[in-house]
Structure formats: structure tokens, C-alpha cells
Chains A and B, each alone.
Chain A
């Protein structure tokens, strides 16, 4: 849990004052199907951080991510992005979201170019052109130029994942949120995506990424947040020891996520 102060009010910070955190989540509780999935979650993310959300299956990391981008409603608590409540649509123009690979494409053979063009739409923008030059530039950047007019539903997992990332990046988001971007993706594509994420961080983009393990991003992540049974059990430098009793099961889980061995 970060020591950053909670932002005051929902209005963007006036000029001269310290900018509001990119993400400020307070006392977040989420229930899904009658089961409590997140409890008492506090999370503050500042501009330029690369934060990994880690945890075992069912720990609540994807639920937290989906709450942060406003897909899941909260039962209690409050989430602010850039100082505004997440329910305010206007704030979503500054956000890029890459859903989990499991988000299957439909049966209609939409092309990569058409799919990426949907990333240009936002709360105040309901129209886009598939010929927008930003789309071609990004497709080239992600090595997808030759696939621009191919149907997404006939692509491999790695190609499809890159299309989803292009779709999130095409609007040049200040906050990029990715849900397990490396699952079902070959090692070469993982390395390529890691280089891309590094470049985005160096330009000041804030990134929050759900991961199963630190993997190719181990050297880049500035903060690791480990969840277990809907609670944050570790929040800090990924190389630091979990902050709880090493004999506790949670410590073992947290350490495993961080690739550490625990010697009681």
C-alpha cells in the first residue's frame, strides 16, 4: 500500500498544485456472484510507474484491474483516475486497456486495421477512419503491417495480442492497463512487447500490468503488488522480501510470485 496521500475531491488538481495520482483506489470492496472477491484494497499509482499486479489464480488481481478501468462496479470504496471518479466517462480518454487474451474475437472477420481503429473512439469521439495514419504507424511499430488487412479471428494468439495492444495504444494513453498480456504468447513476442513497454515507460506512460510471474519484465517493474484472497499482501520493490511473517502461507505465495525463495 502506497504512502501517497489521498487526493482531495474529484476535480483535477489546479495548476501549481502537485498533480493527482494516476490511480487512487481507497477501501475497494467488490462482490461477484455473491462472493467477496476484493476487500479493503488501497492502491495509489503515480505517473511513470510500471506496476505489476501478481497473485495466484482467483487472488483477485484481474478483478482489481477491471475495477480500476471502470468495467466492474464497486460495492464499497472509491477509485479515481487522474483525480476524477472512474465513473466519469471523460477520464477514459486518457486510458488504454488490453483485456485478457481470453476475450475471443467474434465470428465476423474484422481486420486488424478495423479493430485498431476502434481504439480511437472515446467518450467524446464516436467516429474514426480505418485509414488514420496513426493506425498504420502503430501496426508497423508492432510488426503487423503485413497483417493490417487480415481478419483478427484467423490470427495466432501472439498476433492477436499485438493487435489488442495496438488498439489500446492508438489513442496515446497516459495510463496503459494490461491483463496478462504474455499468456499464450511465444517468447520472441514477449521480448518484443517488453521492449515496447520499456519505451512507453521512458516516455512517461504509467503502466499497470497483471502477471502470473515477473518473467521478461523482472528488471523493469518498479513496484510489485501481490494479492491473495482479495487482499494486498505485498506492495513494494519486487526484489524486497514480502512484508509479512515468512512462516505464513501468504508469504510463500507472495515470494513465489516474486520468484524468491523463503528460508524461515
Chain B
């Protein structure tokens, strides 16, 4: 029997993943807009790698204290590791250009290598990391939902309420500094909300693809609309629609949700690129009129 999309949306099994998908769709592009503006599009990727070490450490601690389930502390572990990683990355970014590239690469690879090694020490195997690497629906629990809602509210509160300051800092750091704004604190804040987003999105989208949901909707939006806040809002709409669409699709076809969601956002980006000349020609006509 094929169930209708409405029955699917209201079913108990899908309720948690769908709420999480909407929250990911709302939060990831907020952070992504600031990261794209700062030319730090790959920061989310790096934090995803570092979060894996956190998952493994959480698993190890869970095994020591005989937690049930054993991965009870995986997401809190990812949260702590990615926040620490974010702060370290921001400090390294302030170092000279020559050393920071290599330092960041070491942090990224160290993150994934640490994850693989520590999960083994915890009595698990790298297959236990698969759900975190590529995302999974079956692993979403009630406590995950609570953590996700709290993190999403923090990201939205910071990313939207401080929008003007964060835009000023990301648009022109020197000007912001000359204006007397706390540039360093704001940069660390952006890195921290990026870490929170990575943690809240990794259950469904996976640590390896979470960055795509931050960046690709923003890239798609900036070819469709004009204005910083309009780009952010449009990216949020694209990401919510792609997250929901991807999740509903995977309920009918047995495919990994993370991959499907990311492919949908890339599809929107490609459509945006195709439509771009038409949109720009219309804009020029309006400006000339």
C-alpha cells in the first residue's frame, strides 16, 4: 500500500525527522550566508570532521559508564568537539596566511582520523560512524530532537538578532574594526553557531554533507535575488523545501536522506544558474524603465 504524503507527514515515525529537517533548513543557510561572505565556505566541512572525533569520544565515555544506548553521549560529544574546533579554527585564522592553511588541514584530517581510531577503542567499528558520516533516519531519538530544537533556537536567535553586526563584520572586517565593533568576538560567535549547526544537522544529513546544506542554498539564492538579507531568506526557503522534499522522497524510495537532500539543493543551484541570464536581463529592463 502506498501512503499519501499527508499521512507520511503526520505519521509517528516521520514526525521527529521532519521537525529536524525543517530546523536544519532554517538554520544552515543563516550560518552559510555569513560563511560565504567571509569566504570560509569549507569551515562547515572542517567542523563536520572534528565533530566525528566528538561522536567517538562520546561513544567511548558511554561505553565506560555503560550508558544505554551506548551512543547516548555521541551528539553531546560532537557538540563539544565542534565548538572547540570552531574556536581553534578562528584563532588559527588570525595567524599568518601561510601557516593557517596547513594548520586547518591538519585539524580536519586529525578530526576524522581521531574519530575512526577512538570508535575502535570504544569497542565499536567504523560502521558505527556511518550513520553520522552520511546521515540516517533510523537513529533519530527523542533526546536528539530536544537537542536539535535547543541548538536551532540558539543559532536562529544569534544569527538573526545580531544580523546587522554579523553582516558588517563579514562584509568588511577592517571597516568593522575601525567602527569599534567587537570583530574577534563576532568571528568566534559565527564559528560557534556553525559548530552548533553541524551538530544539529549531522544526524540526518551526515557530517560529510552538512556543509553542503549551509553553502549550496546560499549559492543558489545569490543568483536569484539581490540583497544580503533577501539572499539569506531565499536560501532558507530553498533549504527547507529541499530538506522536506528529500525526506519525503526517501520515505518512498530506499535512498539515504542526506545525499538526496544535498542533490536537490544542487539541482536548485543548477536551475538558478540556467535562469540567471533571464533574471538579469529582466532586472536590466526594469532598471532602464
Which residues of A are in contact with B by a Cβ distance under 8 Å? Answer: 33, 66, 69-71, 89-93, 95, 97, 99, 103, 105-111, 114-115, 117-119, 121-123, 126-128, 146, 149-151, 167, 177
**Given A106-B39, A117-B164, A118-B171, are A123 and B181 neighbors across the interface (CB < 8 Å)?**
yes
**Given A99-B174, A128-B164, are A106 and B37 neighbors across the interface (CB < 8 Å)?**
yes
Instruction: Please classify the interface of chain B as helix (H, G, I), strand (E, B), loop, or mixed, using the class held by over half of its residues.
Output: helix
Picked from B178, B222, B225, B227, the residue with its CB within 8 Å of the CB of A97 is B178
Which residues of B are in contact with A by a Cβ distance under 8 Å? Answer: 33, 36-39, 96, 162, 164-165, 167-168, 170-172, 174-182, 218, 222, 225-229, 231, 287
- Excluding A92-B178, A105-B171, A106-B38, 19 further A-B contacts by CB distance (< 8 Å) are A33-B96, A71-B178, A95-B178, A99-B174, A103-B175, A106-B170, A107-B36, A109-B228, A110-B167, A110-B171, A110-B227, A111-B226, A111-B228, A114-B167, A114-B227, A122-B180, A126-B164, A128-B164, A177-B178
Picked from B179, B182, B222, the residue with its CB within 8 Å of the CB of A109 is B222
- The contact sample of 5 A-B pairs, CB cut-off 8 A, is A103-B174, A103-B175, A110-B227, A149-B227, A167-B175
- Chain B residues with Cβ below 8 Å from A103 are 172, 174-175
Min Cβ gap A177→B in Å is 8
- Complex-state Cα separation, A95 to B174, whole angstroms: 13
* B179 pairs with A121, CB closer than 8 A: yes
Which chain B residue shows the least CB distance to A147?
B287
- Complex-state Cα separation, A121 to B146, whole angstroms: 36
Which chain B residue shows the least CB distance to A110?
B228
* B171 pairs with A69, CB closer than 8 A: no
- Complex-state Cα separation, A114 to B226, whole angstroms: 11
Which chain A residue shows the least CB distance to B33?
A108
- Complex-state Cα separation, A93 to B226, whole angstroms: 29
Give me the 4 closest cross-chain CB pairs, A-B, nearest first. A92-B180, A123-B180, A97-B178, A89-B180
* A122 pairs with B96, CB closer than 8 A: no
* A151 pairs with B181, CB closer than 8 A: no
**Given A108-B231, A109-B222, A151-B226, are A121 and B96 neighbors across the interface (CB < 8 Å)?**
no
- Complex-state Cα separation, A126 to B33, whole angstroms: 19
- Complex-state Cα separation, A167 to B168, whole angstroms: 11
* A66 pairs with B174, CB closer than 8 A: yes
